[in-house]
Amino acid sequence: MPAETYQLLIGGKWTEAASGERFAVTNPATGEVVATVPDAGAEDARAAIEAAHAAFAEWSALPAHVRARYMRKVYDGIMQNVDRLARVLTEENGKPLAEAKGEVINGAEYLNWYAEETRRVYGEVIPSSSRKTRIWVLRQPVGVVAAITPWNFPSSMITRKIAPALAAGCTVVIKPAEQTPLSALLLGEIIQEAGLPAGVVNIVTTSQPAAVGKEFLENRLVRKISFTGSTEVGKYLMQGAAAQMKRVSMELGGHAPFIVFDDADLDAAVQGAVISKFRNAGQTCICANRIYVQESVAEAFTERLVEAVRKLRVGNGFEEGTSVGPLIDEAAYRKVEEHVSDSLSKGARVLTGGHRLTGAGFDRGYFYAPTLLDQVSDDMRIVREETFGPVAPIMTFRTEDEVIRRANDTPYGLAAYIFTRNLGRTVRVSEALEYGMVAVNDSLLAVPQAPFGGIKESGLGREGGHHGLDDYLEYKYLSVVLD
């Protein structure tokens, strides 16, 4: 498939949407149309689901090492095309090219890791209550999976879902975000080249997510919805899935506290805050949203953080030296601006940034200056809601108990960060934080071997590790009476 004629992947064939409609994908750094893709509706989604269902019996029955071989071929295909995949990712999402490459490689690693894990889908033999009875427990794939992914990691959010799904023996229909469908279709091209049986992976791009989502929910052939995106849409899908008791995995929003204690290595904490907050222009579900610094080190930490943030270079992701790209669209920009103006109207102070970037190179994209605020209070929207942009509020605290209480005072529970060199404190605070992941003196989470995911309104289920494979498997209890 030449990249210029992006099409849907259904049952191993590239095809247009039944309606013949296409929609445009734009570069958020320049506003230019990069490509057009088919605009699938319910009919196309149904065809993709049926193709996935038709492929399921053969795929799930393949010996584990054969499925693993296919997955490694996809991994190799991605690794041979990192530059091309990264360029397209930067074009549609805007993130700096180096970040895009990092995402493509990190995403590929899930295929490699789960290819190995395929061999370890073990059942159990359980002692029975009688001499003539045997109890066996089988692990079987859940069936057809509908995977819905967001625009902030257009490549790795897909591989994080298809890798455990394929390893378990499931077949998949992917619906990428409307802002970033190109990375998904390029992955489809690599999957085709790897020779996966027709229908094992299907891709429907659409500008009408509600119509395709409704088909995913109502079609009885779909046995699981795997979703990454906002808590709002996640709740809607979970409610819809309840009607047929479909399995769900939900990777939703976050509102990460980033806590710096007085015994922390301040330089490491500053570096960690910059990476955690400004990677992907602050558009990550695990990015630091609330920085809490212990009073006695607040001034020193803030001074160094301001200095580091002022050095960040905002620009087009293709330009050498760019560390922060544009926001994805006008709506994202408006939310950031609202959070900042709400904070300022309630008494916050801008330490750096605080405005949209305009002028040469910026006028057609959604660029926002990396921003730090202080004199922030707990009633401001920026402390209550996920901002999803390059803005961080800095707050101070006195005691461990106080910061734990404030950090947990949110419906979200995805990631939290603490910086401290005290072992007792590390254990106490990590155990008390109501989050699915706690990074200690670290700022990057998301590796194939670890269970990424949230609690509370940040979601259900895990992606990564053997835990992630469990989410695509069912138990079957066999009771066998011998003659």
Give the catalytic positions in this structure.
251, 285
State the number of binding residues for ligand NAD (CB under 6 A).
26
Q: Which helix (H) or strand (E) holds 83?
A: helix 82-93
Does position 233 bind ligand NAD by CB under 6 A? Answer: yes
Interface residue with ligand NAD among 9, 74, 115, 148 (CB under 6 A) is: 148
Interface residue with ligand NAD among 44, 92, 103, 251 (CB under 6 A) is: 251
- Half-sphere exposure of residue 346, counting CA atoms within 13 Å on the CB side? 18
Interface residue with ligand NAD among 143, 164, 188, 229 (CB under 6 A) is: 229
Min dist. Cβ of residue 118 to ligand NAD (A): 23
Q: Which residues, 6+ apart, have CB-to-CB distance to 232 below 8 Å?
A: none
Measure CA of the first residue to CA of the last residue in the chain; give whole Å: 57
Interface residue with ligand NAD among 210, 300, 427, 444 (CB under 6 A) is: 210
Considering only residues 265-324, where is the footprint of ligand NAD by CB under 6 A?
285
Does position 152 bind ligand NAD by CB under 6 A? Answer: yes
Q: Let me know: does 155 contact 104? Beta carbons within 8 Å.
A: yes
Considering only residues 398-427, where is the footprint of ligand NAD by CB under 6 A?
414
Which is nearer to ligand NAD, 120 or 334 (by Cβ)?
A: 334
Does position 213 bind ligand NAD by CB under 6 A? Answer: yes
3-state secondary structure of 460: strand
Does position 209 bind ligand NAD by CB under 6 A? Answer: yes
Map residues 365-394 to x or -, x wherever contact with ligand NAD holds by CB under 6 A.
---------------------x-x------
Min dist. Cβ of residue 464 to ligand NAD (A): 10
- Strand pairing category for 371-374 and 349-352: antiparallel
Binding part of the chain for ligand NAD, among 131-139, 247-255, 269-277, 472-480 by CB under 6 A, reads 247-255
Q: Let me know: does 277 contact 243? Beta carbons within 8 Å.
A: no
Q: Rounded to whole angstroms, what are the CA distances from 226 to 76, 354, 433?
A: 25, 36, 26
For 13, other C-beta atoms within 10 Å of its C-beta total 13
Binding part of the chain for ligand NAD, among 66-74, 174-182, 289-297, 437-445 by CB under 6 A, reads 174-182
**Rounded Cα gap, residues 204 and 7, in angstroms:** 9
**Rounded Cα gap, residues 134 and 156, in angstroms:** 42
**Rounded Cα gap, residues 442 and 454, in angstroms:** 18
Q: Let me know: does 364 contact 351? Beta carbons within 8 Å.
A: no
Does position 155 bind ligand NAD by CB under 6 A? Answer: no
Q: Let me know: does 196 contact 78? Beta carbons within 8 Å.
A: no
Which is nearer to ligand NAD, 229 or 326 (by Cβ)?
A: 229
Place of tokens 């498997």: 473
Binding part of the chain for ligand NAD, among 173-181, 301-309, 350-358, 396-404 by CB under 6 A, reads 173-181
Min dist. Cβ of residue 268 to ligand NAD (A): 25
Min dist. Cβ of residue 208 to ligand NAD (A): 9
**Rounded Cα gap, residues 411 and 53, in angstroms:** 37
> How many residues are given for the chain?
483
Q: Let me know: does 423 contact 429? Beta carbons within 8 Å.
A: no
Contacts made by residues 403-406, CB under 8 angstroms, sequence distance 24+: 403/257, 403/259, 403/292, 403/294, 403/429, 404/429, 404/432, 404/433, 406/257, 406/292, 406/378
Q: Which residue has the CB atom at the shortest distance from ligand NAD? A: 213
Binding part of the chain for ligand NAD, among 99-107, 181-189, 245-253, 470-478 by CB under 6 A, reads 245-253
Q: Which residues does residue 294 pair with via DSSP β-bridges, in sequence order?
A: 397
Interface residue with ligand NAD among 38, 77, 199, 253 (CB under 6 A) is: 253
Map residues 430-459 to x or -, x wherever contact with ligand NAD holds by CB under 6 A.
------------------------x----x
Min dist. Cβ of residue 450 to ligand NAD (A): 13
Which is nearer to ligand NAD, 96 or 169 (by Cβ)?
A: 96
Which is nearer to ligand NAD, 143 or 453 (by Cβ)?
A: 453
Selection from 246, 219, 224, 284 nearest residue 439 by Cα: 284
Binding site for ligand NAD (CB under 6 A): 148-152, 175, 177-178, 209-210, 213, 228-230, 233, 236, 251-254, 285, 386, 388, 414, 454, 459
